[in-house]
């Protein structure tokens, strides 16, 4: 019996030592299993997108028969504005967080999403105008090396990514009014990063790089969360929400037209340009409101509101009566006394000015007593 117990203790000790040794060498069974899976599937970095996610974020183009109105708007997003700073920061990769340009460039270089040539107002998203990645990198002076060919065909070091030079984005918006839903819908169709560099003759020059369709970019943007201001550092919205909810601040630099002219070409004067941009924005946002026929209740409410505004504009405001405080009665009385005295003095002065001056007869040069006596008697009779 004693021998059996000793044998059982030895076997148990051997199993425990083997388990401890395996844990030290491999870091546990879970770690060893993960290493095997990585060897089979290959090491993958960054957000992973499945076919189901791609289908979920895909936006179907509406049929032409369902559209009553459509307009394409080109906007410029200036990253120096506060509303657009979530697209620029962080400049470097911090805890897996990347800015928009790093995400787009990494996906294009790895050929996970297609990119198309910038044609300045005549964008065509077909394979014919799809860019060649090495040519694009050489054109914009971005240094790269050849990858292993499996996961990454081209490798760009962190220091060679021109993040600080991308200070603008061009976006292509579509405003569509759908007859089926009777609603005006706005969606971003494509995004173009713009490099800001010093031109050949000095000054700042802008170089649009390429267009990327927003639909193929959405699954990756939905996994990147950002915070919108410095007051709340909790990242509550993703970059996909940022564009779909139109949280950006962009000015219109071009609209699709027959002559393919930009807004600066159509309106050279800055004041005319600003008025035209505001007018286009206002018409787009109020287009859907003008198509609705108000009900009787809505019409009466609008009429009543208009009458109240008109009555408030025509009414004369009442005069404000300011009463003297009780603590200053003595000073008030003295002031009133001075005012009364001044008014009475002024009245007396006016009365004196209105009276005719008395004309005294000049004394005679003879100085006879008879004339003086006659004058005295006349005064007595008048009395």
Cα(263)–Cα(257) distance, integer angstroms: 10
In the chain, % of residues over pLDDT 90: 44
* Residue 136 binned pLDDT confidence (cut-offs 50, 70, 90): very high
Residue 55's CB: how many other CB atoms inside 10 A?
Answer: 9
Q: What is the largest CA-CA distance in the chain?
A: 183
Q: What is the pLDDT of residue 316?
A: 60
In the chain, % of residues over pLDDT 70: 69
Q: What is the mean pLDDT of residues 311-320?
A: 68
Q: What length does the chain have? A: 383
| Nearest in space to 63 (alpha carbons), one of 172, 214, 181 | 181
DSSP string, 82-114: GGGGGGT--SS-BTTB--HHHHHHHHHHTTSS-
Cα(276)–Cα(252) distance, integer angstroms: 9
Q: What is the pTM of this model?
A: 0.67
Cα(283)–Cα(109) distance, integer angstroms: 40
Tokens for 370, please give them: 């008879």
Cα(287)–Cα(153) distance, integer angstroms: 48
Q: What is the pLDDT of residue 88?
A: 95
Q: What is the pLDDT of residue 369?
A: 45
Cα(175)–Cα(184) distance, integer angstroms: 7
* Residue 65 binned pLDDT confidence (cut-offs 50, 70, 90): confident
* Residue 321 binned pLDDT confidence (cut-offs 50, 70, 90): low
Q: What is the pLDDT of residue 61?
A: 81
169-214 per-position pLDDT tens digit? 999 999 998 888 888 889 999 999 999 998 777 788 999 999 999 9
- Say if CB 103 and CB 113 are below 8 A apart: no
Phi, psi dihedral angles at 141 (to 5 degrees): 70, 35
Provide the b/e sequence for 200-229 (b: ≥16 CB within 10 Å): eeeeeeeebbbbbbbbbbbbbbbebbbebe
* Euclidean distance between the first and the last CA atom of the chain, given in angstroms as a whole number: 168
Place of tokens 């179907």: 60
Q: What is the pLDDT of residue 130?
A: 95
Contacts with 220 (C-beta within 8 Å, 6 or more apart), sequence order = 46, 47, 49, 103, 107, 113
List the Cα angle 218/219/221 in 5-degree steps.
60
Q: What is the pLDDT of residue 271?
A: 95
Which of 30-39, 227-236, 261-270, 365-374 holds the top average pLDDT? Answer: 261-270
* Residue 366 binned pLDDT confidence (cut-offs 50, 70, 90): very low
Q: What is the mean pLDDT of residues 138-155?
A: 87
User: 148 or 23: whose pLDDT is higher?
Assistant: 148
By CB atoms closer than 10 A (0-12, 13-18, 19+), residue 101 is buried
Cα(4)–Cα(12) distance, integer angstroms: 12
List the Cα angle 126/214/250 in 5-degree steps.
120
Cα(280)–Cα(73) distance, integer angstroms: 9
Q: What is the mean pLDDT of residues 234-248?
A: 94
Q: What is the pLDDT of residue 64?
A: 81
């Amino acid at each position: 019996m004693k021998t059996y117990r000793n044998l059982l203790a030895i076997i148990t000790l051997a199993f425990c030592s083997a388990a401890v040794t395996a844990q030290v060498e491999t870091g546990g069974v879970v770690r060893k299993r993960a290493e095997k899976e990585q060897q089979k599937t290959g090491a993958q970095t960054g957000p992973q997108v499945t076919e189901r996610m791609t289908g979920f974020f895909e936006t179907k183009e509406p049929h032409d028969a369902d559209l009553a109105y459509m307009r394409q708007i080109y906007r410029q997003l200036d990253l120096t504005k506060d509303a657009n700073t979530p697209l620029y920061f962080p400049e470097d990769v911090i805890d897996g967080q990347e800015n928009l340009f790093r995400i787009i460039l990494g996906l294009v270089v790895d050929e996970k999403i297609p990119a198309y040539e910038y044609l300045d107002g005549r964008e065509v998203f077909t394979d014919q105008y799809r860019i060649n990645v090495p040519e694009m990198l050489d054109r914009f002076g971005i240094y790269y090396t050849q990858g292993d060919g499996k996961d990454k065909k081209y490798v760009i070091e962190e220091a060679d990514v021109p993040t600080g030079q991308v200070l603008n984005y061009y976006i292509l918006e579509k405003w569509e009014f759908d007859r089926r839903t009777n609603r005006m819908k706005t969606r971003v169709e494509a995004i173009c990063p713009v490099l800001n560099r010093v031109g050949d003759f000095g000054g700042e020059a802008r170089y649009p790089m390429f267009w990327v369709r927003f639909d193929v970019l959405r699954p990756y943007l939905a996994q990147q969360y950002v915070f919108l201001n410095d007051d709340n550092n909790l990242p509550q919205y993703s970059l996909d929400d940022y564009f779909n909810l139109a949280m950006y601040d962009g000015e219109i630099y071009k609209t699709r037209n027959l002559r393919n002219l930009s807004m600066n070409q159509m309106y050279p004067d800055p004041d005319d340009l600003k008025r035209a941009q505001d007018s286009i924005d206002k018409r787009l946002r109020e287009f859907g409101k003008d198509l609705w026929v108000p009900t009787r209740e809505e019409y009466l409410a609008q009429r009543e509101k208009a009458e109240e505004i008109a009555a408030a504009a025509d009414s004369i405001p009442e005069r404000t009566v300011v009463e003297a405080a009780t603590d200053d009665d003595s000073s008030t009385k003295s002031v009133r006394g001075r005012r009364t005295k001044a008014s009475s003095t002024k009245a007396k002065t006016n009365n004196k000015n209105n009276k005719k001056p008395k004309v005294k007869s000049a004394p005679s040069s003879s100085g006879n007593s008879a004339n003086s006596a006659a004058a005295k008697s006349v005064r007595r009779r008048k009395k």
